[in-house]
Amino acid sequence: AVRGRLAHLGCFALLLEETARAEAADSDARWLAGKPLSVFDGVPVAVKDEITVKGYHTFSGAKPNLNARRDEVDDLTVARLRAAGAVLLGKTAMHEFGVAPTGFNSHLQGPVNAYD
C-alpha cells in the first residue's frame, strides 16, 4: 500500500512496511482495549536516514553499502517514539551527508515534489 503510493516520490531510503503493519496492529489492539500508550500510539512517523534504527543500516544519504554493520540500538528519538506507540514507517531520503539544501540524492533518485 505505502510502497505503491509513494514509490514514485523517492521519499524513503528504507521502508519498513511489514514492521509498520505489525506495530499498527499492536496499536489497534491497545486502543480497542482502552489502553493506548500515549496520544502518539498508532501515529505513523518516519525519521531521516541519519538516525539509527536497531537492526537496519544508516547511510546518511551516502551510497548504500549493504555489507556495513547494522545499527545495534535505536536512536533516543526512535526509542521514545516507539515507547509512546508511534508506528515507524521507515527512514526518509536525504542529501548525501546532509550537506546541501536541495534534498536531492543521486543514489536514491529523489525525493521529488509531490505536487509536480
Contact indicator for 61, 92 with CB cutoff of 8 Å:
no
Residue 65 has pLDDT above 70, yes or no: no
Rounded to 5, what percent of the chain is helix, strand, coil? 30, 15, 55
pLDDT of residue 115: 64
Cell output for 3: 510502497
pLDDT of residue 76: 94
pLDDT of residue 106: 65
Residue with the larger pLDDT of the pair 62 and 24: 24
Give the span between the Cα atoms of 115 and 36, in whole angstroms.
Answer: 35
Surface-to-core class of residue 69, CB atoms within 10 Å of its CB (0-12 exposed, 13-18 middle, 19+ buried): exposed
